[in-house]
Amino acid sequence: MPLQEPVTTRHTASAEEREFVLKQIYNQVIERPLYEFERQQLAELEKGFIKGKIGIRHFLKSLAVSEIYLETFYEPSSNVKFIENAFKHFLGRSPHDETEIRACDRLLVERGVGAMVSALIDSEEYRKAFGCFTVPYWRKRRYESPNDYLENRVLGSEHAGDRGWGLPTLYWHELHLDCSGGTCRSTWTPSSRVRS
């Protein structure tokens, strides 16, 4: 489950404070504490963060292209589901609509994971919401539509892989599916047909 409250650091934070922030980053981005062998893979990156040589944004960009993140979220997913998870991890929300998804998909296909995640982290939205010293977290905000509210509610309580790796929230509502538990089932009834 993503972080619900802001966790911040500062330039003068102690190693212990930075270690705490690091654990919160893993909870937000990897959605669980790391295993010891995974931490060993990220040892140099962690060392730079704990010593204050790199900040949260640089750490997030590097984590997004790490073997751990890619194996957990990119490799088992469709591009669209990966994009939905990236929004959850790095912007603290679900994608608003297909336009956002298409823009990210184009970037993902043409330039790769690093460029797509960097675009999220370098965005004006990220700067306004989290600045340089706050770990991304699931934000309370105004919703653009009832669907936007519903998608945020479901995605915010989802654990990695709960609803499968292929179909993102944005589409399973439109297709009248319930993908809870990793298996999609139809929720279509004659009353769910759109009347013209």
Nearest to 80, CA basis, from 164, 168, 172 = 168
Model pLDDT, residue 42:
97
Q: Which amino acid is at 104?
A: C
Residue 17's Cβ-count burial label (10 Å; 0-12, 13-18, 19+) is: middle
Each residue's pLDDT tens digit, 22-74? 999 999 999 999 999 999 999 999 999 999 999 999 999 999 999 999 999 99
Each residue's pLDDT tens digit, 85-124? 999 999 999 888 889 999 999 999 999 999 999 999 999 9
User: pTM for the complete prediction?
Assistant: 0.78
Q: How far apart are CA 160 and CA 103, in angstroms?
A: 23
Pick the CATH number of 1-140 from 3.60.40.10, 1.10.3130.20, 3.50.50.60, 3.20.20.70: 1.10.3130.20
